[in-house]
Each structure stands twice: as structure tokens, then as C-alpha cells.
Copies of this chain bind each other. A is one copy, B any other.
Amino acid sequence: MIDLKPKKLPKQARSRVSFDAIVGAAARLLRERGYEALTTNHIAEQAGVGIATLYEFFPNKEAIVAELTARLMAKVEANMEEAFAEARGLDPWAGVSHMTARAVAAMAAERDVFRVLLRQVPFVPQLPVVVETRAALAALSQRVRIEAAGALDLPMPEDDVWLISEMLYNAILEVAFLEVSERKRAELTKELARLTYRMAVGRDPETN
């Protein structure tokens, strides 16, 4: 794979505006036109900068997508760490429920961009920042589980951890991507949390 880092970072305020406009234009084009229509010339035009300005900061198209992805994933990760802090002290079922809801909400907030990035751009799912963020999220889930272990006495083979992570991650995306009312999405999210609890614990949560 090619070079995915910006070749230069903005040092003055005016260039930061350009830089951000480029990343923002890429997001808008992905959202509205999909990855196939994402060309460097279109991005520059949408961003209101010359094509040469774009290449001043990014070595190629992929680097722009990578930068956009990194920004979005950072937001998700921050969100989830916040959610984890909030979930501490809750009982296992409430914790799972809360984390799931926050994850769906975080993705749903930018669902059109995420759908294109994570499901249609060949290299994005393998991007280090994506792999790392997924690992961080899985680690958070693990900590929820471990804190619950005391209360629940849960053994879990490594394969199960991986499988549950994969299933939960994909289901979160599917639920976040759905074009339904937020009310319906919340219902589905709650059911998803319950199914996850079933997978992890082997029985239904005690709803008290």
C-alpha cells in the first residue's frame, strides 16, 4: 500500500482551513456520491481550493480518505471511553446495554460516511487506525466483562471473545446504518444488547 500520511501539516490558520475543507469535502462526496465518484479534482472543487493546494498537503487520494477515517474513528473511540466511564459501577446487564447504545449512537451520527468507508472502500477496514480502534473497543468490552465476571463467574474461551466481538461490531454497524426512526433504532439496539448478553452469559439478564 502507498503512503497514507499527509505529506505536510498546516502551520498557519488559513491553511488549516484549506486542510479541513479538503477532508470535509471528501466526507460530503462520499456521503452523497459514494467512493466511485470520489476524485481528487472533485474534492478540490468541493472544498473550494485549487487542485495543487490539495496535493500540497496530501500525497494522494487515499491519504485524504485515511485522514477522514482517522478523525471519525477518534471521535468514536473518545465516545466509547466516555461510555465506559459511565458504565463503571453499573451491573453487567446495564453496562452492556449502555455501551451498546452508545456505540450505535456514535456510528449512526455519521452513518452514511461510515457505511461507505467501512463497507465499500477496499483499504479502509485494514487501515491501522481502524484495526487499532476496533481492538481498543474490544478491549473495553473485555473490561466490562471482567468487571462483571466477579458478579457472574464467567469463563470464556478466546475464540468466543473474538466471535462475539465480530458479531457485535457488525451488528452495531447494521443497526446504525438502518434507515429507521430513532425510536425503532433504540428498540433494535436494546434487543441487540440482550442477544449479546445471551451470547456472553448464556442466559437472559435479570430485568429488575
| B-binding residues in A (CB < 8 A) | 34-36, 119-122, 125, 157, 159-160, 162-164, 166-167, 170-171, 174-175, 187-188, 191-192, 195, 198-199, 202-204
Given contacts A157-B191, A163-B191, A198-B199, list 20 more A-B pairs with CB under 8 A.
A34-B122, A35-B122, A120-B120, A120-B121, A160-B191, A160-B195, A162-B188, A163-B171, A163-B175, A163-B192, A163-B195, A164-B195, A166-B170, A166-B171, A167-B195, A170-B170, A195-B199, A198-B198, A198-B202, A203-B203
**A116 CA to B110 CA in the complex, in Å?**
24
A-B contact pairs, 6 of them (CB 8 A): A120-B121, A167-B170, A170-B170, A198-B198, A198-B199, A202-B203
Q: Which residue of B lies closest to A199 (CB)?
A: B195
Whether B199 contacts A199 by the Cβ 8 Å rule is yes
* B contact residues around A35 at 8 Å (CB): 122
Whether A188 contacts B159 by the Cβ 8 Å rule is yes
Chain A interface mostly: helix
Shortest Cβ gap from A81 to chain B (Å): 25
**A14 CA to B125 CA in the complex, in Å?**
42
Whether A167 contacts B160 by the Cβ 8 Å rule is no
Shortest Cβ gap from A30 to chain B (Å): 11
Shortest Cβ gap from A202 to chain B (Å): 6
Given known pairs A163-B191, A167-B171, A199-B195, the reply for A122 and B122 (CB within 8 Å) is no
Whether B202 contacts A187 by the Cβ 8 Å rule is no
* B contact residues around A163 at 8 Å (CB): 171, 175, 188, 191-192, 195
Shortest Cβ gap from A1 to chain B (Å): 12
Q: Which residue of B lies closest to A168 (CB)?
A: B167
